[in-house]
């Protein structure tokens, strides 16, 4: 059960990015493109350079989405241009822009 499918592994991004200790605490701050990129990159837990739906779900969970599965699905609908179910490097920009537009905030 060690990580071949990727599903069973605990995403490191949760530990590192959801503590929020390094982020400004006051009010809600709009997440920056750089922060978003960092989160998505770290949520590529199997480091294959592609973001699967499961990895996206973890990323949206990190972002505090209440329905990360739905968010992941919507993001794929939007950004997965070639329809293979993964976000590759070329599609990454679209994903980041799309997510930025949906206005995530850091609390
Ligand atoms: Ca991956
Ligand atoms: Ca794709």
Q: Give the chain's domains with CATH numbers.
A: 28-106 (1.10.238.10)
CA of 78 to the centre of ligand 1 (A): 18
Find the 33 Cα to ligand 2 centroid distance in Å.
20
Res. 38 pLDDT band, cuts 50 70 90 = very high
pLDDT for the residue numbered 8:
46
Residues near ion ligand 2 (Cβ under 5 Å): 80, 82, 84, 86
Mean pLDDT, the chain, integer: 82
Please give the distance, rounded to the nearest whole angstrom, from the Cα atom of residue 51 to the centre of ligand 2: 9
Higher-confidence residue: 15 or 39? 39
Q: What is the pLDDT of residue 31?
A: 85
How far apart are the C-alpha atoms of 17 and 12, rounded to whole Å? Answer: 8
Beta strand 29-30 with 105-106 is antiparallel
Between the alpha carbon of residue 95 and those of residues 16, 20, 23, 67, 69, the distances in Å are 21, 23, 22, 17, 15
pLDDT at 21: 47
**pLDDT of 89 over the 60 cut:** yes
Q: pLDDT above 90 covers what percent of the chain?
A: 64
Structure confidence at residue 57 (pLDDT): 97
CA of 84 to the centre of ligand 2 (A): 5
Encode 56-103 in three state secondary structure.
HHHHHHHCCCCCHHHHHHHHHHHHCCCCCCCECHHHHHHHHHHHHHCC
């Amino acid at each position: 059960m060690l990580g071949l499918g990727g599903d069973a592994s605990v995403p490191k991004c949760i530990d590192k990015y959801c503590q929020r200790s390094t982020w400004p605490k006051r009010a809600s701050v709009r997440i920056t493109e750089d922060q978003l990129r960092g989160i998505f990159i770290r949520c590529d837990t199997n480091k294959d350079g592609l973001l699967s739906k499961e990895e996206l779900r973890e990323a949206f969970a990190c972002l505090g989405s209440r329905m990360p599965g739905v968010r992941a699905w919507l993001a794929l609908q939007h950004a997965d241009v070639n329809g293979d179910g993964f976000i590759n490097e070329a599609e990454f920009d679209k994903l980041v822009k799309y997510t930025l537009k949906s206005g995530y905030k850091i609390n």
